[in-house]
Each structure stands twice: as C-alpha cells, then as structure tokens.
Amino acid sequence: MRKKSGRRSRAFSLARLTVSVALLVVPPTLAFAALRTWLAYEDIEGTLLAKFEGERWEVPAKIFSDSFAIYPGLRVDTDAFRERLERLDYQRVADSPSRRGSYRFTKKPHTLELWLHAFQYPSSEEPGRKLRMDLDDLGRVIKIVEVAGGDEVEDVSLEPALLSGVATRPVEERRVLRLDEFPRVLVRSVLAIEDRRFFDHNGIDVRSLARAVAVNVVSGEVRQGGSTLTQQLMKNFFLTDERSFNRKMREAAMAVVAEQRFSKGEILENYLNDIWLGQSGARAIHGMGEAARFYFGRDVADLSVAQMATLAGIIRAPSFYSPHRHPERAQSRRDLVLAELFETGDIDQAQYETALHEPMQTASPDIGGMRAPYFVDYVARELGKRYPRRVLESEGYRVFTTLDPEMQAIADSVVADNVREMENDIADAVAKAGQPLQAALIALEPRTGKVRAMVGGRDYGMSQFNRAIDMRRQPGSTFKPIVMLAALGSEHVGARHFKPSTTVIDERIQWEWKGQVWSPRNYEGEFYGPVTVREALEHSLNSATASIARDVGVQPIRDLAVRLGMTSDLGVYPSIVLGGQAVPLLDMAKVFSVLAAGGMRATPLSVRRVVSGDGQLVEGNDVEIRRVVPATDAYLVTHLMEGVMERGTGATARRKGFKHPAAGKTGTSNDYKDAWFVGFTPDLLVAVWVGFDEAASMDRAGSEAALPIWTDFMRQALADHPHTSFDIPSGIRLVDIDKKTGGIARPDCPKQVREAYLEGEQPDEYCSEHGGFWH
C-alpha cells in the first residue's frame, strides 16, 4: 500500500516536473517558432514584391536593321523582294492572307496582298494593316490600298529585321506582354495542359500532388511533378532545378505566399512571360511572346489555334518536344492539348478539326539569331561607349540601325564566295602565307552616311576581328583620287593648275624630300611618256601621279585627305600620295563618299535611334552633312573615275555586266599584299579590301581580287534599281575633245573623249590636226 502510494507520489512529481518544464520551455519555443514563421513570411513576401513590382527580367537590348519603304513604282514581284519578306518571317500563302505576317501574289489581276506585322517604330506605330497592291506587268506597284476601309496609301514600310541582342554572355530572350495581349486560347491551352485547377487552388494543388506521388511510387521513378503554375513560377524566379525535398518545400511555401499576395492574373501573366520554351545557342527563349516569334515567326496575336496548342505542349520539355528538331513529337503533344481544349469547350468541333489537320510549319530556327555579326559587334561597341553594360544587357532597349538586311545578305555571300574561289586560284600564295585569305566590305549611302552593309571578314565564326573598321592597311592607288582632287580643284593649290586634259609626263621621277630621294615605279615597270591627267588616273600610273603630287605639294594633299574625313594620323611625306600609309577601310569609304555626294561629307551613321524598354526615345542620331569641297571639284574627279570604270583598271566590272553609271578606283599595295577597290554610284558606295591578316603577297592586284567582289555586290544590290547618273553641278562644262590634241573635237577626230572642266577653263580652240572640211 505504502509502496503503491510512494510510486504514485513519484509519478505525480514527475508529471509536475514535466509540466513545469513544459511550461518553461514550450511557450518560448512556440513564440520563437511564431517569430521565425513571421520573419520567413515577411522574407518571402519581400522577395516576391521585389520581383513582381521591380524589374522582373533582364531583357537585353535588341538591335534592328533599317525598315524598307514600298511605294508606287517600286518593283516588288521579284525574287529579291520575296527574300526580303521571308527574312522578316512573312509566310507565303495560297489564299488571301488571313493573318498578319502573310502574303500572296496573284497573276490575274496582278496583285500583292500583304498583311503587315504590327511594329512599334521609334516615333510611330504600324498596327499591322492588310494591304492590297495592284501591280503592272513588270511587277511594279501601281497603287497601295488598305483593305479595311479601301483607303489608298502613298507608301508603307516593311518593319526592321531583328539583327541580334546585345549580350556578352548567355542571355534570356523574351518579349514581355500584358495578360490581355495573350490570346484566350493560348492561355486556356497552357492551363489545360499544365494546371487545370489553377483557379481552384491556393498555390499548391493537393489533389494533383497526391496523384503525382501515386504515379511516381507505382512507377518507381519521378514521372509527374504535380507542381502548379504558381510553383513553377516560383521555381523559375527564385530557385534552382535541384530535386530535393527542401527545394520543393521552399517552392510550395513561396507559391502559397504568392497566391496570398498577388492575383491569379498577375501570376499567370508572369508565368506566360517567364516560362522557358527553348534554346538557340546561347539564347534561352523565354515566354510565349518570344517563343511565338522563335518557332513560328509570328506575334502571339497571330498564332493559329494549332500553334498555340503547340507552344503550350512544349512547356513540359522544350528540347524534347522542340517543333524545330522533333516536329512529330511536338505534333503529338499539340494534339493532346487540342483534345483537352475541345473537351473543355474552349474550341469547337470545327476549330478542333482544322487545328488537328494543320501541318507543323515552323520559322527558320535562326530567326532572331545573329545576323550581320560584324556590324552588330560594331554597334554594340559604339553603344558600349555611351551606356553601361548592365543597361544594355538588362533594360530592354531597342536599337534602330541603318543596315539594309538584303544588302547585308548579298555582301555576306559575295565575300564568302569570292574569297573561297580566289583561294583556290592562288593556292600557292595561300600555302606560302600559311593563313587564310581574308576580305572586308563596307557599303555606305554617300549622301547620308548610312552604313547599309558591313562584312569584317570571310567568316565570323573563324575570326571576329572586324577588318572593315579595326584594320589599317596601305590603300595603294585608291589614294590617287585625293591627289587629283587637290590638283584639279578650284582652290588652285600648288605650283601648277591642272585640268583633266592637262598633259603630264609619265617617266621616272626623283622626288627629293628631307634629304632623301623617292622614286616610285609603275606596276609594270614601264613608263608611258606624255599622258593626260585622266589617263594617269584611269590607268593608275604611279610616276605621272607622283609628278602631279609633287607640283601640288604633299601638305595640301594630306590636309585635303583629312578634310575629306580621313581620321588616320596621316604623315607628311611623299609616299602617302600613292597610298603608302596604312588606313582603315572605313576611312577610304568616307573619302570617296564625299566625291559621290558632290562634295558633302556625311558622318558615317549606324545607330539611328535608341528607345528604352518603355518606349521613350533615349538617343537620336541624325544624318550629319557638311560641305567640305565644292560640288564642281568633286564632280571633276568623279568624272575621271567614271573613266576608270569605262576604260581603265575598273573596266572588268563592265565586262562582268555591271552597267549602272559608276565611278571607282583600284588599289594594290607593294608586293600585292593588299587589294582594294572603292567605287560608287550616286546612291551607293562600296569599299572592298582583300588580303592576308599577316601581310603577305597574294599575287593579285585590286582589279583582280577586290573588284570582282565589288562588282558582284553591286550587280545584285542594284539589280532592281534604275540607272541614275551623277548630277552635273552648275559651274561645270562638258566638252568633247580630241584625245591627242586636247582641242575641241571635230567630227573627224578619230579619238574623242568627253571631258569636264570648271566653267571658264574649258578649251576654246578646236582640234588642230583633224577635221577635213572643218579644219
């Protein structure tokens, strides 16, 4: 009895102790747990707020080309125009276009029906109009009519092409859209396949979680995730792909807090903009907006039901279901989504049937990839001087440039093709040089300075060094027009005033300069005796040109070169007059563009506008021109250089079929280490260099190595352009003269040439040798 009582007493004491300890320990523990819970909640909420209300995504700057104007009279029923459309992801359709981004030509009547993409320009907006263009027999636009309303429009623009994003590291590409910009069927597709009970759960769907656990236990592997859209979003925003209980719990906690803090609409919008949907090299494709462009070349608003279902279907495993690489897998997944949509009544029978039968047609996988890589590098470098890298890589800037994608494509292909062909021709020289042959090309609009195409090397993958901008090489005879401009110009510098028909002697000269003698030779090693200034340039005679330069003086020639736009630190010594000092290709393009533009110097322009992510104009660069030489002087030299194309070292271009009025000049440096050709029409200037990076002989002159590239480019780039002559400024007199005597030509003069003179300097006497009756 006593024993029993003692045990009871001990038990009571133990219980009392336990209760005491519990009373002592549990409240603080609970308080601590509550505090931690509260802190954790605050922490999660703060994180979510910062993400949802701050900068959610880093959107790298996008670089766009120039747009392209279509107007009555323009020839559009051409392969080149179709290629232009296809580069912009326009799809040719058999029936009248039923959505933006499609077109068709009809024969009777001859029309082009074109439904433009919507596009936000820096200072205007193209809503995406459907147009009908009546064409004539030659495929030229007669009139442009807006289908809705029937209004005639004077001109329209094809939107700029996306060239690339600005990034120095792998980037996430996305087009951020508002929820109401996503088509309803797209949203329903995503919900149907990823989270059917999205509107019925609070971040965690216990039912689907339980189902996933059951499936995984039965199969013995992880087959289903059971994550809601909210959980997926939390994982994408904040967590890693680590498969652990701990990560899963964090994800769930965050999902629940997110659902508490934000509306379903906000969560859905973020999800649709954030979800990863594929990869293209270093570019990760995020969000439905970007994926629609990447896979189908369309804006989300223009997707078909089948395409929306496809995008929803690939969320689960974008690589595995990639419409580009595995169209059959993508299609079966799409059909699954379509069945779900039909079952839930989101699409009707007809839509379902149509979508099921739609073939899996995707845009080219390189859409949005890097085009014009050397130009993009150049632009990115220029932008990098003005903006912090963080801004360029994250704030969604849009950069509008001057590049013409069509010309760029032509430039890329003619450089690559010609260099490859030439390498075969000069295999010995290539072997001796022990390096690949390289080339560079730059195309400018001379009157505006707009850079229209740029190729910095034969293959960007092989070498990213931009030879169009960063390389300096001896220009050889391409420098000679500067000498001629100084000699012929109305400023009358130097000891003697030259005219195009002035005779000079092509003979060995000894040019003494600061105690040394410089004695240039012609390439063939021969001298031609008395020649005119025109002949000296047309046939690129070194001795005659040096003789003219000696009379003009090195300093005025050097100063003129600087005035024309040469930025290189040109020295003052005789050999510069024959291109003996290394200069960049861009400098030569700038100099010649002054001649092409009638004496106006246009600052090269590549970046036109920079617009911030919210559409504000951040930077605007306008065409800048200023007169640096009189139009008459520029014309005199241009006229001589037209002769180079007709009779001189550039005549091969004519033999190869390039017939536009053009002027140009070849250049070859010592030992054939550099081949140049710089030439222009009134509307387009192109400079080409060919050579080895480590200077070595290639046994080819400018006319053999650079001119073919120039010719092929011009022929293709200007194929559909009308021939435009150079404007003859007032103050110029054109006179037909006898080539031998320089007098005004008579009908019987056997060799006549049309010569340009400054007003008052033209010959006033007739040819004294020919003429019969007139003599």
Partner 1 sequence: MAVFGTDGAMVSPHMNSRLRSALTVAVAVALAVSVQGCSLGGAKNAATGKKSAKASQQAGAKRAGKPVDESGGYAALSDWEAFERTRRSLGAEIDRRAKALRGGAVGNLAAELASLRMSAKAPVLIDKGSLDGAVELLERAVSMYGGNGYAYLFLAYVHHVEGRPDQAAGFLSSARRYLPADKGVRGETEGLARSIRASGPSAGGSAPAPG
Using alpha carbons, select from 368, 188, 358, 359 the residue that is nearest to residue 292: 368
Q: Which is nearer to partner 1, 53 or 421 (CB)?
A: 53
- Site residues for partner 1, 423-462, by CB under 8 A, read 445-448, 450
Using alpha carbons, select from 721, 771, 723 the residue that is nearest to residue 747: 771
State yes or no: residue 25 binds partner 1 (CB under 8 A). Answer: no
- Site residues for partner 1, 265-294, by CB under 8 A, read 265, 268
Q: Which is nearer to partner 1, 134 or 470 (CB)?
A: 134
State yes or no: residue 260 binds partner 1 (CB under 8 A). Answer: yes
d(CA 573, CA 258): 74
The footprint of partner 1 on this chain (CB under 8 A) covers a number of residues equal to: 92
Q: Which is nearer to partner 1, 67 or 102 (CB)?
A: 67
Residues 447 and 483 sit within 8 Å (Cβ to Cβ):
no
Among 15, 25, 31, 55, binds partner 1 (CB under 8 A): 55
Q: Peptide bond before 481: cis, by omega within 30 degrees of 0?
A: no
State yes or no: residue 29 binds partner 1 (CB under 8 A). Answer: no
Among 14, 50, 213, 572, binds partner 1 (CB under 8 A): 50
- Beta bridge partners, 119, equal 126
**Cβ neighbourhood burial of 35 (10 Å; 0-12, 13-18, 19+):** exposed
Q: In whole angstroms, what separates CA 87 from the centre of its chain?
A: 12
Q: In whole angstroms, what separates CA 148 from the centre of its chain?
A: 33
Q: How far is the CB of 264 from partner 1 (least distance, A)?
A: 5
Q: How far is the CB of 606 from partner 1 (least distance, A)?
A: 14
Q: How far is the CB of 222 from partner 1 (least distance, A)?
A: 20
State yes or no: residue 387 binds partner 1 (CB under 8 A). Answer: yes
Q: How far is the CB of 84 from partner 1 (least distance, A)?
A: 16
Q: Which is nearer to partner 1, 187 or 533 (CB)?
A: 187
Q: Which is nearer to partner 1, 387 or 460 (CB)?
A: 387
Using alpha carbons, select from 466, 284, 474, 283 the residue that is nearest to residue 382: 466
Among 162, 163, 229, 252, binds partner 1 (CB under 8 A): 252
State yes or no: residue 696 binds partner 1 (CB under 8 A). Answer: no
Among 76, 171, 257, 355, binds partner 1 (CB under 8 A): 257
d(CA 711, CA 713): 5
The contact pattern for partner 1, residues 121-160, with x = CB under 8 A and - = no contact, is -xxx---------------x-------------xx-----
Residue listed under structure tokens 């039901």: 305
Q: How far is the CB of 134 from partner 1 (least distance, A)?
A: 13
Among 17, 22, 24, 69, binds partner 1 (CB under 8 A): 69
State yes or no: residue 759 binds partner 1 (CB under 8 A). Answer: no
Q: How far is the CB of 4 from partner 1 (least distance, A)?
A: 44
- What type of residue is 536? A
Find the farthest-apart pair of alpha carbons in the chain and give their distance in angstroms, rounded: 164
Q: How far is the CB of 621 from partner 1 (least distance, A)?
A: 7
Residue 378 backbone dihedrals phi, psi, to 5 degrees: -60, -45
State yes or no: residue 26 binds partner 1 (CB under 8 A). Answer: no
CB atoms under 10 Å from CB of 285, counted, come to 23
Q: Per CB under 8 A, which region of 48-56, 371-379, 428-436, 741-749 contacts partner 1? A: 48-56
Q: How far is the CB of 239 from partner 1 (least distance, A)?
A: 6
Among 297, 494, 520, 598, binds partner 1 (CB under 8 A): 598
Tell me the pairing of strands 583-584 and 472-473.
antiparallel
State yes or no: residue 723 binds partner 1 (CB under 8 A). Answer: yes
Among 202, 219, 364, 768, binds partner 1 (CB under 8 A): 202
d(CA 13, CA 1): 18
State yes or no: residue 353 binds partner 1 (CB under 8 A). Answer: no
Q: Per CB under 8 A, which region of 41-49, 216-224, 735-743, 760-768 contacts partner 1? A: 41-49
Q: Per CB under 8 A, which region of 4-12, 21-29, 71-79, 90-98 contacts partner 1? A: 71-79
- What type of residue is 487? A
Task: Calculate the alpha carbon distances from 557 to 46, 638, 653 in Å.
Answer: 68, 17, 29
Among 5, 246, 349, 424, binds partner 1 (CB under 8 A): 246
Using alpha carbons, select from 473, 663, 479, 499 the residue that is nearest to residue 558: 479
Which value, in Å, is the radius of gyration of the alpha carbons in the chain? 36
Q: How far is the CB of 725 from partner 1 (least distance, A)?
A: 10
State yes or no: residue 328 binds partner 1 (CB under 8 A). Answer: no
Q: Which is nearer to partner 1, 245 or 773 (CB)?
A: 245
State yes or no: residue 683 binds partner 1 (CB under 8 A). Answer: yes
**Cβ neighbourhood burial of 118 (10 Å; 0-12, 13-18, 19+):** middle
Among 355, 600, 636, 718, binds partner 1 (CB under 8 A): 600
Residues 6+ apart with CB under 8 A from 41: 257
Q: Which SS3 state, helix, strand or coil, does residue 140 take?
A: strand
CB atoms under 10 Å from CB of 353, counted, come to 13
The contact pattern for partner 1, residues 391-430, with x = CB under 8 A and - = no contact, is x---x-----------------------------------
CB atoms under 10 Å from CB of 754, counted, come to 12
State yes or no: residue 253 binds partner 1 (CB under 8 A). Answer: yes
Q: How far is the CB of 750 from partner 1 (least distance, A)?
A: 33
d(CA 617, CA 423): 47
State yes or no: residue 768 binds partner 1 (CB under 8 A). Answer: no
d(CA 481, CA 639): 11
Q: Which is nearer to partner 1, 19 or 33 (CB)?
A: 33
Q: Per CB under 8 A, which region of 117-125, 476-484, 488-496, 575-583 contacts partner 1? A: 117-125
Residues 173 and 290 sit within 8 Å (Cβ to Cβ):
yes
Q: Which is nearer to partner 1, 66 or 506 (CB)?
A: 66
Q: How far is the CB of 109 from partner 1 (least distance, A)?
A: 18
Q: Which is nearer to partner 1, 61 or 429 (CB)?
A: 61
d(CA 576, CA 483): 10
**HSE-CB for 347 with a 13 A CA cutoff:** 28
Residue 305 backbone dihedrals phi, psi, to 5 degrees: -60, -40
- Site residues for partner 1, 161-200, by CB under 8 A, read 179-180, 184, 191, 198-200
- Site residues for partner 1, 212-231, by CB under 8 A, read none
The contact pattern for partner 1, residues 643-682, with x = CB under 8 A and - = no contact, is ---------------------------------------x
Task: Calculate the alpha carbon distances from 128 to 114, 117, 147, 157, 539 in Å.
Answer: 10, 5, 12, 11, 54
DSSP string for 231-281: HHHHHHHH--S---HHHHHHHHHHHHHHHHHS-HHHHHHHHHHH-EEEEET
- Site residues for partner 1, 602-621, by CB under 8 A, read 608-610, 612, 616-621
State yes or no: residue 28 binds partner 1 (CB under 8 A). Answer: no
Q: How far is the CB of 248 from partner 1 (least distance, A)?
A: 10
Q: How far is the CB of 247 from partner 1 (least distance, A)?
A: 7
- Beta bridge partners, 605, equal 450
d(CA 743, CA 162): 58
Burial string for 74-89 (b: 16+ CB within 10 Å, else e) reads: bbbbeeebbebbebbb
